[in-house]
């Protein structure tokens, strides 16, 4: 199980504006501290903590943050409408489009996804595979 994911950011205020546009609607709460932003999901009954956490922090070595080539973090939305809404909100909050929401021929017929880059250039996906939404072929 993945416990947490961290992305680097040189401008925490700019990153906060971007991530605040879509992580809270997905259920994440945020804590801001000297080390940056910490996003967490609410714990389920009987759990002490829900995973994974998502961190946005300055780099440990003090060098400029950079996006990993081939690295991507994906967040699951409840349905296709939420994918579209959050993709648009993230772009309006300073992100850039890396692939408009929709189906991709290379993926399954229910995998609906939109791709983004955060202000630092990190690649993200917001997707849904909700069986109650229309599929690619229907």
- Domain harbouring 122, CATH code: 3.10.180.10
The answer to whether residue 137 is domain-embedded is no
pTM of the predicted model as reported, rounded to 2 decimal places: 0.91
Q: Which domain holds residue 29?
A: 4-59+67-128
Quick check: is 108 in a domain?
A: yes
In a domain? residue 76: yes
Domain presence at residue 19: yes
What confidence tens digit (pLDDT) does each residue in 69-125 have? 889 999 999 999 999 999 999 999 999 999 999 999 999 999 999 999 999 999 999
* Count of domains observed in the chain: 1
Between 5-14, 15-24, 59-68, 117-126, the lowest mean confidence (pLDDT) is in 59-68
Of how many residues is the chain composed? Answer: 138
Write out pLDDT tens, residues 17-41. 999 999 999 999 999 998 999 999 9
Residue 84 resides in a domain: yes
Tokens of 84: 């579209």
* Residue 135 within a domain: no
Q: Where are the beta strands (DSSP E) in 1-71?
A: 4-8, 29-33, 36-41, 50-57
Query: Quick check: 126 and 118 in contact, CB under 8 A?
Result: no
- Any domain includes 101: yes
Task: Say whether 87 sits in a helix, a strand or coil.
Answer: helix
The 10 Å Cβ neighbour count of residue 21 is: 21
């Amino acid at each position: 199980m993945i416990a947490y994911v961290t992305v680097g950011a040189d401008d925490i205020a700019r990153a906060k504006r971007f991530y605040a546009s879509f992580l809270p609607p997905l259920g994440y709460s945020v804590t801001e501290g000297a080390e940056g932003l910490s996003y967490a999901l609410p714990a389920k009954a009987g759990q002490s903590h829900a995973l994974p956490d998502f961190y946005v922090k300055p780099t440990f070595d003090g060098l400029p943050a950079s996006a990993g080539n081939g690295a991507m973090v994906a967040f699951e939305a409840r349905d296709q409408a939420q994918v579209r809404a959050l993709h648009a909100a993230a772009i309006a909050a300073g992100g850039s489009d890396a692939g408009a929401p929709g189906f991709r021929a290379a993926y399954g017929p229910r995998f609906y996804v939109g791709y983004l880059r955060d202000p630092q250039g990190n690649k993200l996906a917001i997707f849904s595979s909700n069986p109650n939404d229309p599929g690619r072929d229907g």
